[in-house]
């Protein structure tokens, strides 16, 4: 599944887009937009990020006011900054600079409840607010981004040629999923599922790895499973790659980071009374991977000693 046919990215209507945030994701998306014939003006506080974008044919500005000035009204601004406080401070700075009729797209991993709040704020000034949950990571530049879009139907329609360019196919891999907020919501659940799938693979390979008597070649097995098996997937393709590069996973710490979206999915499931034990447990396993001095485990050992006289392992 790695290599979809290279395709012509130019889509009907060419647009002018202000890209706010030129990190890996923002810079790649800007580049793919330009490949599709759109004009991009980028903004980032980091001068190097700006100049790198310019080498690829875009303009850039070093301040939000300058960016806004560089775009003809009605403007389209795509926000690609880390979720949370930076998103809020950027949007707060942006709001007074924009006019009725402009459009802001938050392409980051924002919490959908934040999105709902922000959209109300922008609606007060008749500025359209669209949320775009974006998946695809570092592969998006070449393969296209999966985009779950929330917002007003007419607004999303106006932006169609942008999504068609960024997506893996003209009408594949992106869709308006509902009103504003729903894009980030669906992306949040996407990541919850991702946690569960990753954990399922990780456990399976760990069992294979521990079955010493069969001396299994994990890379070969991952490769085998990529064709015809029920569990073939893009994550399995990547797993095969990882195991090819480093069959024993040498030097990698057993330490797994989580971002907000797994947590939000767990919160949401509980709030909706939906049992989501596997997604939840996948998150807990990540916490567990970073808990190298578990108080709970120490207490269990102490309790066993208390009632049964079982010896305590010393640190």
Applying the rule CB under 8 A, the residues between 233 and 252 that interact with a copy of itself are 233-236, 238-239, 241-242, 246, 249, 251-252
Q: Which is nearer to a copy of itself, 43 or 185 (CB)?
A: 185
Distance CA 213, CA 211 (A): 6
Interaction between residue 95 and a copy of itself (CB under 8 A): no
R_g of the chain, CA atoms, integer Å: 23
Beta strands 128-135 and 146-150 are antiparallel
In the range 120-149, which residues lie near a copy of itself by CB under 8 A? 135-140, 143-148
Distance CA 220, CA 244 (A): 8
Say whether 187 is catalytic.
yes
Q: What is the DSSP letter of 130?
A: E
Min. distance of Cβ 74 from a copy of itself in angstroms? Answer: 26
309 phi and psi, to 5 degrees?
70, 15
**DSSP calls for 153-169:** HHHHHHTHHHHHHHSSB
In the range 251-270, which residues lie near a copy of itself by CB under 8 A? 251-257, 263, 265-270
Say whether 170 is catalytic.
no
Min. distance of Cβ 206 from a copy of itself in angstroms? Answer: 4
- List CB contacts of 161: < 8 A, sequence separation 6 or more: 11, 12, 13, 14, 15, 36, 38
Q: Are 144 and 5 in contact (CB under 8 A)?
A: no
**DSSP calls for 13-46:** S--EEEEE--SHHHHHHHHHHHHTT-EEEEE-S-
Q: Which is nearer to a copy of itself, 1 or 93 (CB)?
A: 1
In the range 158-217, which residues lie near a copy of itself by CB under 8 A? 167-169, 172-175, 177-179, 181-182, 185-186, 189-211, 214-217
Q: In which residue are the tokens 């980028």 written?
A: 42
Out of 14, 113, 158, 232, point to the residue binding a copy of itself (CB under 8 A): 232
In the range 23-52, which residues lie near a copy of itself by CB under 8 A? 24
Exactly one of 52, 113, 170, 194 is catalytic; name it.
194
Q: Which is nearer to a copy of itself, 1 or 86 (CB)?
A: 1
- Binding range to a copy of itself, per CB under 8 A, among 32-40, 71-79, 99-107, 285-293: 285-293
| Number of residues engaging a copy of itself in binding (CB under 8 A) | 135
Q: Which is nearer to a copy of itself, 73 or 302 (CB)?
A: 302
Min. distance of Cβ 201 from a copy of itself in angstroms? Answer: 6
Distance CA 215, CA 254 (A): 22
Q: In a 3-state reduction of DSSP, which class is residue 305? A: helix
Q: Which residues are catalytic?
A: 187, 194
């Amino acid at each position: 599944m790695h290599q979809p046919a290279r395709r012509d990215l130019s889509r009907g209507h060419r647009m002018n887009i202000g890209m706010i945030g030129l990190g890996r994701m923002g810079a790649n998306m800007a580049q793919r937009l330009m490949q599709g014939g759109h004009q991009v003006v980028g903004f980032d506080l980091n001068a190097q990020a700006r100049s790198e974008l310019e080498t690829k044919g875009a303009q850039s500005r070093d301040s939000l006011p300058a960016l806004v000035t560089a775009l003809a009204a009605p403007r389209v601004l795509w926000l690609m900054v880390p979720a949370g406080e930076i998103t809020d401070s950027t949007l707060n700075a942006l709001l007074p600079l924009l006019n009725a009729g402009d459009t802001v797209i938050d392409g980051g991993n924002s919490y959908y409840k934040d999105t709902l709040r922000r959209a109300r704020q922008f609606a007060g000034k008749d500025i359209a607010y669209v949320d775009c949950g974006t998946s695809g990571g570092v592969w998006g530049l070449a393969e296209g981004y999966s985009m779950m879009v929330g917002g007003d139907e007419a607004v999303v329609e106006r932006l169609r040629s942008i999504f068609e360019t960024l997506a893996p196919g003209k009408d594949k891999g992106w869709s308006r999923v509902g009103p504003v907020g729903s894009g980030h919501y669906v992306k949040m659940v996407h990541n919850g599922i991702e946690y569960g799938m990753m954990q399922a693979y990780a456990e399976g390979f760990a069992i294979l790895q521990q079955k010493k008597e069969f001396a299994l070649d994990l890379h070969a097995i991952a490769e085998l499973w990529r064709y015809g098996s029920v569990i073939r997937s893009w994550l399995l393709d990547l797993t095969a790659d990882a195991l090819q590069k480093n069959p024993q996973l040498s030097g990698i710490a057993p330490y797994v980071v989580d971002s907000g979206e797994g947590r939000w999915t767990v919160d949401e499931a509980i709030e909706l009374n939906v049992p989501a034990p596997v997604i939840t447990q996948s998150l807990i396993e990540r916490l567990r991977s970073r808990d190298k001095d578990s108080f709970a485990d120490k207490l269990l050992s102490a309790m066993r000693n208390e009632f049964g006289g079982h010896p305590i392992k010393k640190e």
